[in-house]
Amino acid sequence: MYYLTKRIEISAAHRLTLDYPSKCTTMHGHNWIIDVHCRAKELNANNMVTDFTTIKELVVDRLDHKVLNDVLPFNPTAENIARHLCELIPNCYRVDVRESEGNTASYEKD
């Protein structure tokens, strides 16, 4: 099995829809760190699991310097972002989304 990890840092704003009072329901931003983990039993025609450039384009072009509520069709929690990216990126099996130093959410396919 081949594995790769791509770490990407983006800046983006969001506001959360919550069923309790929280300052996170107002617009705020983070310097997000996103770790994308991919794997494959066989390498592709270019001898890669997934091209690092493809991963970067799928994450940075869609999310960097954006208001996530405007570009994502769901409540942009770190957990939902991790799931979304994992489903979007070829051969991805896990995504870790860190919105601040002590707060990381992960999604891993079964």
**Tokens representing 27?**
């617009």
Q: Could you tell me if 49 and 40 are in contact, meaning their C-beta atoms sit under 8 angstroms apart?
A: yes
The enclosing domain of 68 has a CATH number of 3.30.479.10
Domain, as residue range, for 30: 2-108
pLDDT digits (tens, 9 = 90+) for 62-90: 999 999 999 999 999 999 999 999 999 99
Mean pLDDT value across residues 92-97? 98
Q: Whose CA is closest to 77, among 31, 18, 20, 10?
A: 18
**Tokens representing 20?**
């309790």
Q: How far apart are CA 61 and CA 38, in angstroms?
A: 19
How many domains does the chain divide into? 1
